[in-house]
Amino acid sequence: MAPERALVVRGSGPGGARLAVFLLLAAAGLWAALVLDLDPRRLWPGREGWQLGAEFFGRALRPALAREGADLPPDLPPLWWQATRAAWRTVSFAAAAMLPALAGGLLLGFGGATAWWAGGRRSWLGPAVTAACRLASVGLRSVHELLWAVLLLAVFGVTPLAAVVALALPYAGTLGKIFAELIDEAPRGPAGALRDAGALPVQVFLFGLLPRALPDMTAYSLYRFECALRSAAVLGFFGFPTLGYYISASFENLYYGEVWFYLYVLLALVAGVDWWSGAIRRRLGR
């Protein structure tokens, strides 16, 4: 055992600050457990919870392939058709929302970057635009898409447009924030050369900055599409006809087999997009 311990000590390296981070994390965890009254013994659900858990998770390997329940109205569409339609709505909400989100994200990302003005003529305009765009990104992003949905429901009602706008607003903020960081991290040589040759900020952005940052931005946008898919599914809990709507409805009717069928459809969607974006990232060298 002795050599092993020696290895560990030498391996952990110059870790004073790291040790501090770990101690802080432990202290934060302790604080959180006290505030929330987290009792490890309660991690084991009670007898009723256990019964329900066994019943529910027992159906994981036996998802329903047709509707459950007796005395169904005869004109109800079959389960697979309902799931396909819900899956399509989930995908189409996410895909439709990505268009305005990307447009907004590109604007905020370009404006929020410093690369298009840093090093050029001194002017108050560049820093002011950057600050305004970053503030807008933070503001849009800090409100969760479900909360945007609640606000938009009050104005638009349960319409597909409300769902798309609710997704697009915070996603534009997030994309704007990350795009700005990626643009600023990209090599600035070409941009500087273009600016010195008298190019406009728009030209500097399009031909000097964007091409170098584009692979990373594409990879990140694909990841956000995957997130949008999950968010669109969750919007169903607020009455929009995506997968979440049917998950909650079936669960409340105690049709656990149906719940698992919908969960597996969601799983297949997310895992499929995950695989696809992974394949694209590998080919982009990211």
Partner 1 sequence: MTAREATIRRLRAERPRSRFLRASGWAVVGLVAVSWALGGFLAEPAWSAGRAANLRRLLHEVVPYPLQGADWSWSVAATWLGGIWRDYLGEATFSTLATSVAAILLAGSLGAFLVPWAARGFACPEPFLTDPVAPRWPVRLAWGAVVVVARALLTLLRSIPEYVWAFLLIALYGPTAWPLVLALALHNAGILGKLTADLVEHLEQPTLAALRGLGARRRQIVFAGIFPLSVNRFLLYLFYRWETCVREATVLGMLGLASLGFWIQDARARNHYDEMVLVMAAGGLLVTAGDLVSALARELVRRT
Of 145 and 201, which has the nearer Cβ to partner 1? 145
Of 131 and 279, which has the nearer Cβ to partner 1? 279
Q: Binding mask 114-133 vs partner 1 (x if CB under 8 A, - otherwise)? A: --------------------
**Nearest-10 crossing angle of helices 243-252, 210-235:** 30
Q: Which of 69, 142, 187, 189 binds partner 1 (CB under 8 A)?
A: 142
Of 82 and 231, which has the nearer Cβ to partner 1? 231
Distance (Å, whole) CA 269 – CA 65: 18
Of 42 and 72, which has the nearer Cβ to partner 1? 42
Instruction: Enumerate residues 169-228 that contact partner 1 by CB under 8 A.
Output: none
Does residue 73 touch partner 1 according to CB under 8 A? no
Does residue 81 touch partner 1 according to CB under 8 A? no
Instruction: Enumerate residues 227-256 that contact partner 1 by CB under 8 A.
Output: 230-231, 233-234, 237, 244, 247-248, 251
Distance (Å, whole) CA 121 – CA 38: 57
Report the nearest approach of partner 1 to the CB of residue 142 (Å). Answer: 4
Of 203 and 248, which has the nearer Cβ to partner 1? 248
Q: Which of 2, 35, 70, 197 binds partner 1 (CB under 8 A)?
A: 35
Does residue 75 touch partner 1 according to CB under 8 A? no
Q: Which stretch binds partner 1 (CB under 8 A): 24-32, 103-111, 117-125, 187-195?
A: 24-32
In terms of C-beta density within 10 A (0-12 exposed, 13-18 middle, 19 or more buried), how is residue 227 classed? middle
Q: Which of 21, 128, 193, 200 binds partner 1 (CB under 8 A)?
A: 21
